[in-house]
Chain A
């Protein structure tokens, strides 16, 4: 038995997305640690080598049982690929698990399917100490030793020689593509100037 709309009460309200910018950009010289991690397919990979092989890399941190920001980060990354592909399809997105003991490759595979993340988004899990080393290397260790206290951050590196751009806060898929476009054009201009 379903209720009908109440008298005097507008039955539908159109959705109005948030419009304000919700992240802060900064640039850093991070050195990604030389650690081995595991992909969602169970393959062992050296993180530094893996990222060096990518023309451009985007990184964020999530865990599959997360009750807050991680589903939104994962959905954002999946949605960002369309805009990123338009700018330059030579990139890889890496989502590193903050709860590697729980986030087994099987769980990450299932999580990737849930969010339909596609072929450009890769998940990494591994040893707790290696994840901690990764977080330390990008100045993102969460407080109190509790993963629930992690902050939403996105890192972007345009080529192997460039510094890492860091976006603190929730960044939209559209903004990721815009930042990628912006960084690419600045990088392109700089390379022309050097030549």
Chain B
């Protein structure tokens, strides 16, 4: 009997203890709130309430605002980690920040405190402790309406005051409790893992050049990180309190095989075997689209793949950041250049293309562009023959050539031989225009009759530009004994990892993929440009670092034997 009584007492004590623990780890509203996370996410990202109507708010004292441009995600971003923008510090609102009492920890505001240029207002704001208790449902609802938090701190004037009914508030609250609540896969106690995709039929020499450069970067960076990790908690050392969050970089090369249709399945298997935090660089010969889809499906950032065929899609919700729009951009530059002079006159063009992996898709894309306008009319599409038969092909088309204003040429390979053959013929006063891949053989045209009428797209920096970072990178490669196959390829391989590293410097222990992507968007414009493009910039949800290009022609006594005939064009 005594034993039974004691057992009951022990059982009761355990229940009481469990109850106490539950209370300690619950917010006051948890027991009641049964909001719909999905609808809360819609409020957060689109500003649409449960009834399908835009949520309204008052901004700047007197303006009623609503809809996606004033949804939470616009300023606090998809990750919820906020940003510093326009002289304002936009604080994080992830689950960890909102539902815990405000802590005073410099890593939370490190970037705003020590890195971002600040207005006096921002400087004062980020240095004020603004202590407050954890939010609960009611206090958050009240704060969103009044702009005064539970610690009696006033919100900044930039923050609209939101009119939410209790259903919308419940839903939003439910979503905020999940927002960046858990760190992303691909990070362990010591390492952060990145994938590098290599396609099945890329030039192995170029793939090796990319990987050798990346490995050299990782070795270099990991040595620094190892040193920093050893200084963890050594108090005289700057930033000792945050060194523990550094992770050594581990690259995983994911080699794809076979047809594109099977790539996503292969990528899923590789991800299951080794979760990665993000993909960086990478190289395939065909379209990047299957890899981009895989990244979107799994919300994995993919930073700066080396591809001529990016996935062209609306930037919202896309996880791949590209250098530029590849050959699609070049096609648009061509069309812009052909149509601009004497814009009131309709131009007739011939389209000659190879029938392989570059010529065929670009011919299709160019025809699609033509179908969307009326200034340039396509007279004839013809497949380029082998180089042995090219002379006969040109001779057989003399009349068509003379009647055309321009010939757009998309070859597959052997560009040097193509230029040599073209230069032996008379093209009357018809313009020839070709992609940048042919421009590297522009020297062939010097002194020929067609040099003055042959143009190339050039969506990159001119060699005549001055970019000090070029010399630092050349020194970096020389000091590591890297054999230079293609300087631009090595520079891209280095730059992709550099941007990743820059973003990770500011992430601390907030290993969230969405936040990482937002940091990449922020870092690019201030990064050191090694002369890849005249300008490199991103913005929120932008996905192409460079947006335009030049038109060039062959020129003697110029770097790379080319000279720009246009300003930088944004088609």
Contact = CB atoms under 8 A, between A and B. Distances in A.
B539 A63 contact: yes
B88 interface: yes
A143 B122 CA distance: 14
B539 A68 contact: no
A70 B121 CA distance: 17
B537 A101 contact: yes
A147 B525 contact: yes
B157 A12 contact: no
Contacts of B87: 69, 149-152
A6 interface: yes
Given A3-B36, A68-B85, A71-B74, A170 B539 contact: no
Contact of A1 (B29, B36, B59, B162): B36
A165 B63 CA distance: 23
Contacts of A75: 59-60, 63, 65, 69-70
B412 interface: no
A26 B308 CA distance: 51
A62 B121 CA distance: 19
Given A71-B69, A149-B117, A2 B170 contact: yes
Given A18-B161, A102-B547, A114-B69, A146 B570 contact: no
A101 B329 CA distance: 14
| Most chain B CB neighbours (cut-off 10 Å) among A22, A114, A149, A173 | A149
Interface string A133-162: 000000000111111111110000000000
A102 B429 CA distance: 35
Contact of B83 (A1, A67, A144): A67
A52 interface: no
Interface string B25-61: 0000100111110010000000000100000011111
A147 B36 CA distance: 37
Contacts of B568: 127
A169 to B, nearest CB: 7
A11 interface: yes
A13 interface: yes
Interface in A105-155: 114-115, 127-128, 142-152
| Most chain B CB neighbours (cut-off 10 Å) among A12, A22, A146 | A146
A195 interface: no
B90 interface: yes
Contacts, number: 193
Interface in B161-220: 161-163, 165-167, 170-171, 174
B541 to A, nearest CB: 6
Contact of B86 (A12, A15, A144, A150): A150
Contacts of A20: 154, 157
Interface residues of B, number: 69
B142 interface: yes
Contact of A72 (B158, B522, B526): B158
A148 B522 contact: yes
A170 B157 contact: yes
Given A14-B145, A22-B157, A114-B69, A6 B567 contact: no
- The main secondary structure of chain A at its interface with chain B is loop
A68 B541 contact: no
Interface size class, chain A: 35 or more
B61 A6 contact: no
Contacts of A142: 117
Contacts of B57: 15
Given A102-B547, A144-B117, A69 B541 contact: no
Nearest to A175: B61
A7 interface: yes
Nearest to A70: B86
Contacts of A11: 165-166
B75 interface: yes
A67 B171 contact: no
Contacts of B494: none
B539 A99 contact: yes
Contact of B161 (A9, A16, A67, A173): A16
Interface string B218-247: 000000000000000000000000000000
A184 interface: no
A167 to B, nearest CB: 12
Nearest to A80: B63
B518 to A, nearest CB: 9
Contacts of A18: 60-61, 147, 154-155, 157, 161
Contacts of A102: 537, 539, 542, 547
A17 B58 contact: yes
A181 interface: no
Given A18-B147, A102-B542, A145-B526, A12 B567 contact: no
B12 interface: no
B275 interface: no
A70 B86 CA distance: 8
Given A16-B145, A170-B157, A69 B526 contact: no
Given A12-B166, A101-B537, A6 B32 contact: yes
B171 A2 contact: yes
B142 A15 contact: no
B554 to A, nearest CB: 26
Contacts of A169: 121, 157
A149 B116 contact: yes
Contacts of A150: 86-87
B88 A172 contact: no
A109 B148 CA distance: 36
Nearest to B155: A18
A187 B225 CA distance: 63
B265 interface: no
A46 interface: no
Interface string B67-93: 001100011010000011111101000
28 contacts: A2-B167, A3-B33, A3-B171, A9-B138, A16-B146, A65-B540, A66-B86, A66-B540, A67-B74, A67-B77, A67-B83, A68-B86, A70-B86, A72-B65, A76-B63, A102-B539, A102-B542, A114-B69, A115-B69, A142-B117, A144-B526, A145-B525, A149-B84, A150-B86, A150-B87, A169-B121, A170-B60, A170-B157
Given A2-B171, A65-B541, A144-B117, 17 more contacts: A3-B167, A7-B32, A9-B32, A12-B166, A13-B144, A15-B161, A18-B161, A65-B542, A67-B75, A67-B85, A71-B69, A75-B59, A76-B59, A102-B547, A128-B535, A145-B525, A151-B119
Q: Sort A-B residue pairs by CB-CB distance and give the 7 closest, nearest first.
A: A68-B85, A69-B86, A143-B117, A13-B145, A65-B539, A5-B166, A3-B170
